[in-house]
Structure 1
Amino acid sequence: MKIAYIVSRYPAVSHTFILREVLGLRAAGFDVTTISVRRADPTHLLTPHDQQEAAQTHVLVGASALSYLGACLHALTRPLHLARMFARAWSLRRPGLKGSLWACFYALEAILAWHICHQRGINHFHAHFANVACDVALLAALLAGPDASFTFTMHGPTEFADVAHFRLAEKAAAAASIICISDFARSQLMALLPPAQWPKLRIVHCGIDVTAYRFQSRTPAAVREILCVGRLVPVKAQALLLEALATLSIPFHLTLVGDGPDRARLESLTDQLGLRPHVTFAGNIGQNAIHTYYQRAHLFVLPSFAEGLPVVLIEAMASGVPVISTRIAGIPELIEHNVEGLLVPPGRVDCLRDAIQQLLRDETRSIAFAHAARAKVESAFDGRQCTHDLAAIFSAMQTHPTPTLETPDAVVATGAT
């Protein structure tokens, strides 16, 4: 089966799960063409796989004028589909002049994406996240005609925070199927769709190759190594973690893996709290090197204010690192509190500090959590099973197509605007 994967920026160091998914589907016999709305950041191409994927991925923004001209001329040969596509682009536009202008840009990008796929005989368009990539995939499928299908993977949390801006209800109604990474993500879409459409909401976790993560018992040490992996942005709450550690009574060293716009502020806060000797900002680390960080960590902490279902938690759990995170979104589906790790209320620095101290002081409890967490990953987040489940959904759609691109009335039933 041929399928196009459309992503806002691919590959990206914070979205390695998409790369794993693409490689898994290809290994399962799928012909996957990757299309990135914007070119990948060169600083994110940290592994040979990243570099290879970037080299063979089609990029829409920045493509030559000749490419766009050829695609537009091709699209003019199907005026009815083109008119429908532009009408849908206009209906999805955001308010104001800027929103109208961007709707035109998305339509042009969709024309080029469709042209690329038409040349390769691709009729299935799949997007990750309900952002611009989802707009482009939906519009490209409309241009492809009634035999085409459009699906997307729903992660959150950004789209859930502003349903109207992302036109989430409209996109959900138009999709033939939606892959939800958690029960929480599915429930948020159920609130936007009539019950008749709930069956198309399918849960497939973001999995990992469990065999690539060696379970290793932690070696006791005078200074405990605490690890946090994630983009340095306010929603990941690294600032809260620094505040919690400032009053910790146990010797520690914190490594923050990742980069982002919040780095300068976090470094300043580190100095203000007197933690500079105890904190390392490691920057972005590729998948070929991240294992080393998991292996030497005594504790993994992710204190986010909002999340989907973090793959870094899955990786840490597979590696035998005891984990602490927050009781939000899909995380409780991954970590059962006091069984596979500890969950704390988001934003509570006191609860976070107490949880860190508990696990660093109680080695027996930490070991029990680590073993239970590894078992959870093996049973529910094995990438091979996740790929199998996803492949089955795509294959069933090819055998029994269920196009819903032309049913915008479904949105009316939800009261969405």
Structure 2
Amino acid sequence: MSLPRLAYLTGEYPRASDTFIQREVAALREIGHEVLTCSIRTTGAEHLVGPEQREEHARTFKILRAARNPLRLIGANLRFALNPVRYLRALRLAWGTAPKGVRGRAYNLAYFLEAAVLADRMKREKIDHLHNHIAKASCTVAMLASELSGIPYSFTIHGPDIFFEPKHWRIDEKTARARFVACISEYCRAQLMCFADAQHWDKLHIIHCGIDPERYQTAPHKGQVLLFTGRLAGVKGVPILLDAVAELAPRHPDLRLALIGDGPERAALQERAKPLGDTVVFLGYQSQETVAEALSQTDVFVLPSFAEGVPVVLMEAMAAGVPVVATQIAGIPELVSHWESGILVPPGDVAALVEAIEQLLSSADQRRVMGAVGQATVEAEFNIHIEAQRLSTLFTAYASGETPPKRELLE
């Protein structure tokens, strides 16, 4: 059986903060899948920080941009309206899964119109299967496009925020209608099982986000350099990190903290970091190559988040042999083994964070040992080439009507 032709849909693609999706798409193409990338919105220039993002941006189908053409929008809907039973069924689905209130109904009707544009393009491209990442609004579009076109869909669910409002996003209905769901961790799968009907649990599969370990050079473990990579938003706990650095700096005059990323809290965080002077530097969004280069000069990677899925930035640090300090939440313990590849601390605990960073800064040998364990972990369980092959096996098995094998056999 030939490999299914895929469409990949997200709300905004490509983004500097979602490089894991770009890697997954690239790995699926290497396997032999044809992949049409689709984005609801057009990505802002601030995310096009490297050649990978610019190339993917150029080849991605932008749905809202296409829908602004009245002839294209009306034409797509008219073509599907020729099958009134299917068209009205999809419209009823949009209405029935909308959040309560006029605003929620209006949004879902807009998603319905977008879905027609996407479904029309997929029909023209002879797509066999539609896959969505994130499971929020763009997954609503995917579900409706599937209903309109008859093209089956699946989605990858990440968390944590999707589980804050599961009824709003109707992850129960999306799971019921999906051919399968890829869960990024055992924790994520368990959370989805709280809301999905038990009859659908068998189609919830663990597919890790992954990285290419070959991209990363092993860090030297000879300095006092800390690195944070992530969105500068409240959920990431950066103020806790800045407080920890303020406490550590007097004891470690060579200490430096670099923050890669951007977000709504950047200005406030920069203001908060002013008393630390040159100890802290904000670098904004950077290309994948620049992130890899920064990791090669990093001694300890710190991620003090309050909520996470399984952070890809931790995988990147571990691939570079950098020990990590992270919070003991959600799926992180499935990636980071406490006192083996890093140190896990309670979220929001400045004293615990200071102690963990101090422990690693004081011993280059310990950093080396933990870094080696982290490299082995990522190579075995979070390698994008292995995970993409597992995902490809799911696409192919479900397309042929076969029962997919368990995770350890998904290769």
Give me the TM-score of the superposition, normalised by structure 1.
0.93
Partner of residue 235, structure 2: 235
Paired with 1:62 and 1:342, the residues of 2 have a C-alpha distance of 46
Partner of residue 409, structure 1: none
Distance (Å, rounded) in 2 between the aligned partners of 1:81 and 1:194: 25
Structure-2 separation of matches of 1:48 and 1:245: 34
Partner of 1:117 in structure 2?
A: 122
Unaligned runs of 5+ in 1: 403-417
> Residue 46 of structure 2 aligns with which residue?
43
* Distance in structure 1 (CA, Å) of the matches to 2:112 and 2:271: 43
Q: Which residue of 2 aligns with 1:108?
A: 113
Matched, 1:132 2:134: no
* CA displacement 1:173-194 (0-9 Å, x = unmatched): 2211000110011001111123
Is residue 75 from structure 1 mapped to residue 80 from structure 2 by the alignment?
A: yes
2:216–2:296 CA contact under 8 A, matched in 1: no
1:86 aligns with 2:87: no
Tell me which of 249, 252, 268 is aligned to 1:250: 252
Query: What is the alpha-carbon distance in structure 2 between the residues aligned to residue 110 and residue 120 of structure 1?
Result: 15
CA contact (8 A) 2:220 2:299 kept: no
Q: Please list the CA deviations of residues 270-326 of structure 1 after superposition, one character each: whole Å capped at 9, or x if unmatched.
A: 12xx21221100000011221111011111000100011111100100001111100
Report the equivalent of 2:164.
Answer: 161
Counterparts of 1:169 and 1:207, CA distance in 2: 26
CA contact (8 A) 1:4 1:122 kept: yes
Q: What is the letter of the counterpart of residue 158 of structure 1?
A: D
Matches within 5 A, 1:7-18: 7-18=10-21
Q: Structure 2: which 5+ runs fail to align?
A: 404-411
Contact 1:250 1:357 in 2 (8 A): no
Structure-to-structure mapping, 1:284-295, within 5 angstroms: 284-295=285-296
Specify which of 188, 191, 198 is matched with residue 194 of structure 2.
191
For the Cα contact (< 8 Å) 1:342–1:355, is it kept in 2? Answer: yes
The 8 Å contact of residues 325 and 356 in structure 2, kept in 1 or not, is answered as yes
Match of 1:305 in 2: 306
Partner of 2:407: none
* 1:60 Cα offset (Å): 1.3
1:340 and 2:345 matched? no
% identity of equivalent residues: 40
Question: Shift in Å at residue 69 of structure 1?
Answer: 1.8
Residue of structure 2 in register with 1:394 after alignment? 395
CA RMSD of aligned residues (A): 1.2
The code of the aligned residue for 1:290 comes to V
Cα 1:245–1:216, aligned 2, differ >3 Å: closer, same or farther?
A: closer
Answer whether contact 1:182 1:333 (CA < 8 A) is retained.
yes
Q: Is the 8 A contact 1:8 1:37 kept in 2?
A: yes
Structure 1 runs of 4+ aligned residues shifted over 6 Å read: none
**Alpha-carbon shift at residue 268 of structure 1 (Å):** 1.2
The 2-side partners of 1:180 and 1:324 are apart by: 24
2:368 corresponding residue in structure 1? 367
What is the CA–CA distance in structure 2 between the aligned matches of 1:193 and 1:163, rounded to whole Å? 10
CA distance in 1 between partners of 2:31 and 2:90 (Å): 32
